[in-house]
Amino acid sequence: MKTRLKVSESFYKKIKKAEDLIEYKVKDILTEIADTAVTISPVDTGAYVTSFSFTTGSGRPRGKSSEGRPRKQDESHMKSEGFNNLMSDIDRITDFKEVQYISLTNASPHASDVEYGGPKWKTSGYGVFAELEDRYG
């Protein structure tokens, strides 16, 4: 026995709408993560906060050194630059259905020191990634 069913055009429109809503939600969550990452990051030279990247497995992550950079940079300017970098990364993802994973990375040479504290630091690090993990899993 066999039967043939016709799938209406409205079914495909509903599927497309659902996909668009999911993509919108993913972008919304990534934007929230980007905002949190730069908001809780320290700013001295600006190298750390502007070294965040969203990566999807290809390309080189952003990583700037603080060596030779002037200290006490304008915090809001550096955080804005870091956020804009991350938004550009999100905008470069053209098809979320094709992406296996999205990673937030910070490839500055001193990222580990910022996270955990440096050898000459009097206090522990800032725990930026630990905080992001607590909030977003």
Q: What is the span of the domain harbouring residue 107?
A: 12-136
Q: What is the pLDDT of residues 64-89, one digit of tens each?
A: 878 878 899 899 999 999 999 999 99
Q: Which of 21, 81, 17, 85 is nearest to 55 (CA)?
A: 85
Which residues pair with residue 105 across a beta bridge?
53
DSSP state of 5: -
Name the burial class of residue 43, with classes exposed (0-12), middle (13-18) and buried (19+) by CB atoms within 10 angstroms of its CB. buried
Q: Is 77 contained in some domain?
A: yes
- Global pTM? 0.85
Position 98 scores a pLDDT of 86
In whole angstroms, give the CA distance from residue 100 to residue 78: 30
Q: Is 7 contained in some domain?
A: no
Q: For the ranges 47-51, 61-65, 75-79, which has the lowest average pLDDT?
A: 61-65
Number of domains in the chain: 1
Q: Is 131 contained in some domain?
A: yes
Q: Average model confidence (pLDDT) for the chain?
A: 91
